[in-house]
Structure 1
């Protein structure tokens, strides 16, 4: 091999290089660097120009450098151009975004390391919003006015879906990203996959039909519409009005996973959940079985701890009840009432004795009074009581007449007598 390179070097050195491109031959070609330099010298001689177009892609990640792709603003013309900005123009270009319609000033430029042609711009001016983006913005305002993007319309995703409907391009990386990541999180997850075109004129009707079919499938719990990243124009199928209305009409929750995090389409606004990437959609739709098992284990542990604590509290309460005197010495329950009855009986006896003694004393006094006032006491002293025939006590002699019968009551016994004489 080294001998071959030596021969090639020797043959090259032995022949002078052609001056003009038309003089090059198979045996005497120009080196790549020389041809690139010739291209650069020709391109550098071209005059500066003004050019207008729509920003299709822009990369302003490095300070002082902006790389931009602009395309013809006529959607029917699929022509684009790479543009570069360095220094102060780059800081101005960094203010722009995808979809802006701009006018640039600059010159054609050859990057000799790769012999790549680009437009090195030194000025940029804003003209307006590109036609496609402007149409999408008008549609966005229209659909928003109808309430299709309202939060109240969005359907909550099921926490444990059993089957996921997936709308994706055939053989797309997005399909593998969703299925692989979903089954890593929940191995038994089922899928109903609908393959569709994800760009071009066939995209909207196929996506609408796929969403309708999956929505009609009662076994599908959630629908994911997924696509990898791409240029703004590649994603416009997902901003089509029919696609947006199909998502809004679906009774099954719909998740949009179109492009990368910086990409956007109208389906993102109407979807019940917007995922930044297909992988993110799988992670947000499907729970992690390990996390759920850990949650179940933690919940069971908390339940067992709570149950054990309650059982221990009740055990301590029962032990306290068992040690109470009312259970260890049941008779103590009636000790107080019994003592109360005893005390009450004692107080009642005392009260009764006092009452009886008081009554006896009163009776004695009344007896003595009655005895003192009793006619019998008078009779006992030798006096007698005279009563006429009617039983009336005779206290004056004039109340009697001769021959009246009277009854004389003595200390003991009575005497019936007749009045023989009355002395007044």
Structure 2
């Protein structure tokens, strides 16, 4: 029944919201189908929010969902198609229309994706995707193993590109179904056969693009474990760039296309020839530079005087020795002259101070008969014999008298 109201008698807002809440909740819980376009998980909260949109019409609603309901639904991603058991309600606080989700299930591709996501998480937890366990591809394998469908475009792309890049490459091909129920089993058998081949050093699993259902075998758990167990490096080339089956994650190398796989397993012969030619030219240039440097060093050594004339150094040293010898001789002569002059002057001084020089001037040296020098009148007595030593001989005499000098009279 519509509410009666007028400007003079308006209805209270609280009553209108309460009536709306009652009318909406009369619909009860209902299953709806929609696509998840936004998912917000709130850390630390028990209620989260996602936005569902109708598949055809531009209609979307916000749905509140508990952590338990989300975990039970498995991994949900934006874009997943789901069916949800929801109950509509109106919040009195702001009058907004909300939906409370009591159960949610992926459907169609969404359901497949959810199962695949659960499988990926389980295998990842076991370490099958660990980068540390990936094997490196050989630079130039003796033989290349190829698992693909017979006469398929993927086979042609791999073979033609491998032969174009490295004409002498050897390819061991094992055909298998690339879709359907027997695909995973046949691909696994082909992988094991090539892994046991003594010459095969890398294996390519190649298939063109397809739908999610077509590529589903390449997410098979048994196939993933078989690839992980291979001793030979495995290259996954399944589908297009946007396709990511589990085989891509467990393989040692993921190629975006079969053509990309061919480029990864063998080098480009033309490019390698250019690299070798460039390397040889760089090596040749380095050798020429080294020889030129050493030749310049030898020329500089040969240009030195000691190498141009080996006797030049001897002559130079001889001249130096002769110069030093001359300087030494002149120094010795000067020293001798100085010493001779010193001796001459010393002799002259000694002679000037000697008694002999005194005697030559007419003086005499008096001594007693027993040889004592007479230096004072007190050294002799009257009648004592004395000897007067002159320059040319001795005179014997006798002391007649001794008279002392009167110094005061001499001074006057």
Query: Which TM-score tier does this pair reach, normalised by the shorter chain?
Result: 0.5 to 0.7
Q: Is the Cα contact below 8 Å between 2:208 and 2:240 reproduced in 1?
A: yes
Shift of 1:281: 0.7
Size of the aligned set, in residue pairs, is: 316
Q: Is the Cα contact below 8 Å between 2:386 and 2:399 reproduced in 1?
A: no
1:207 counterpart = 2:187: yes
1:344 counterpart = 2:324: yes
Relative distance call for 1:175 and 1:375 in structure 2 (3 A) is same
Of 206, 215, 232, the residue aligned with 2:212 is 232
Cα deviation digits, residues 104-124 of structure 1 (max 9, x gap): xxxxxxxxxxxxxxxxxxxxx
Relative distance call for 1:202 and 1:366 in structure 2 (3 A) is same
Of 132, 146, 150, the residue aligned with 2:112 is 132
1:278 counterpart = 2:268: no
2:293 is matched with which residue? 313
Q: Is the Cα contact below 8 Å between 1:203 and 1:237 reproduced in 2?
A: yes
Relative distance call for 1:218 and 1:53 in structure 2 (3 A) is farther
Of 248, 253, 266, the residue aligned with 2:246 is 266
1:175 counterpart = 2:155: yes
Relative distance call for 1:228 and 1:98 in structure 2 (3 A) is farther
Give the distance between the partners of 1:98 and 1:177, measured in 2 at CA.
34
Relative distance call for 1:163 and 1:384 in structure 2 (3 A) is farther
TM-score by length of 2: 0.63
1:154 counterpart = 2:144: no
Structure 1 segment 24-423 matched on structure 2, within 5 A? 100-101=80-81, 130-334=110-314, 336-386=316-366, 392-399=372-379, 409-412=389-392, 423=402
- Aligned with 2:282: secondary structure? helix
Shift of 1:196: 3.3
Relative distance call for 1:98 and 1:213 in structure 2 (3 A) is farther
Give the distance between the partners of 2:384 and 2:174, measured in 1 at CA.
152
Shift of 1:286: 0.9
Shift of 1:252: 2.9
Q: Is the Cα contact below 8 Å between 1:99 and 1:232 reproduced in 2?
A: no
Shift of 1:137: 0.7
Give the distance between the partners of 1:403 and 1:214, measured in 2 at CA.
157
Give the distance between the partners of 2:113 and 2:375, measured in 1 at CA.
150
Shift of 1:258: 0.9
- Aligned with 1:132: secondary structure? helix
Shift of 1:317: 3.2
Larger displacement relative to structure 2 (234-243 or 396-405): 396-405
Larger displacement relative to structure 2 (263-272 or 351-360): 351-360
TM-score by length of 1: 0.62
Q: Is the Cα contact below 8 Å between 1:99 and 1:133 reproduced in 2?
A: no
- Aligned with 1:379: secondary structure? helix
Shift of 1:386: 4.7
Shift of 1:157: 1.9
- Aligned with 2:200: secondary structure? coil
Cα deviation digits, residues 354-396 of structure 1 (max 9, x gap): 3333323322221111111112212333434455687654433
Relative distance call for 1:406 and 1:148 in structure 2 (3 A) is farther
Larger displacement relative to structure 2 (386-395 or 198-207): 386-395
